[in-house]
Chains A and B, each alone.
Chain A
């Protein structure tokens, strides 16, 4: 299971990163086949989701994930430990996926180009609040919902669809932060955006996912 919340600061002082143990990196370096296999299994879903947003086609996305691992193995000796191992792997995947998309761009519909980024307004529908800014109808309580319903294939499919419908910049952030479980610092660093900007995109994306679940559950 992926950790959703990770409030550890990303190595706040220079030079320290080389001394901090990175269990994922060790899993590969150790040469232990079972450890490597477990790692590949754990990363597979997030890597595939992220690849799918660049190349769309599931089969091509699987190729992208595969090529990413091969590149990881090929360049592991040159890995400097300036970022965490997982951030490095996701960075490689993004590069592989972009290269692949460029190669196939003539064949693909660029729906995301026509999608709007969502402007600067609130993420939540203003009609849910009265003139004083209070709820008109209270949101339902979800804490009593059975796990079987919440994590059903149908619920997961709704969430997947909601993510697929997001503008690309929001989609990338929610996949890295909430599906892959990277820390907010890792996500901001990987995408070259400020932490504040990262949170704005994340908030919009989470609001869209919450709405999709509300539609499904209620």
Chain B
């Protein structure tokens, strides 16, 4: 495997979607390649930043309205 190909397989690797044979070849390449190792690390860092995008506070008015709706719902069921 070449770096150019390894890079295109990185999401499949991270998602656990490679066959056992491909996974072994992928990891073998990685063990000897600082460039691909760094790229994979960059992708993992990117995933952490993406996960951090989820932290958005609920606006106060919206929060209050939803809680009121929840209380109302609770009395109905």
Contact = CB atoms under 8 A, between A and B. Distances in A.
Contact of B71 (A33, A155, A209): A33
A140 interface: yes
B27 interface: no
Interface in B9-67: 10-12, 14-17, 34-36, 38-39, 41-43, 45-59, 62-63, 65-67
Given A40-B66, A138-B35, A203-B11, A49 B53 contact: yes
A: interface residue count bin: 35 or more
Given A45-B56, A48-B56, A203-B11, A77 B77 contact: yes
Nearest to A70: B69
A151 interface: yes
Contact of B51 (A2, A132, A145): A2
Interface in A50-88: 62, 65-66, 69-70, 73-74, 76-77
Contact of B49 (A65, A129, A150, A203): A150
Contacts, number: 153
Contact of B38 (A4, A124, A138, A206): A138
A46 B21 CA distance: 36
A66 B45 CA distance: 32
A180 B54 contact: yes
Contacts of A203: 8, 10-12
B58 A178 contact: no
Interface of A: 1-2, 4-5, 7, 31, 33, 36-37, 40-42, 44-46, 48-49, 62, 65-66, 69-70, 73-74, 76-77, 122-124, 126, 129, 132-135, 138-143, 145, 150-151, 155-156, 159-160, 174, 178-181, 184, 195-196, 199, 202-203, 206, 209-210, 213-214
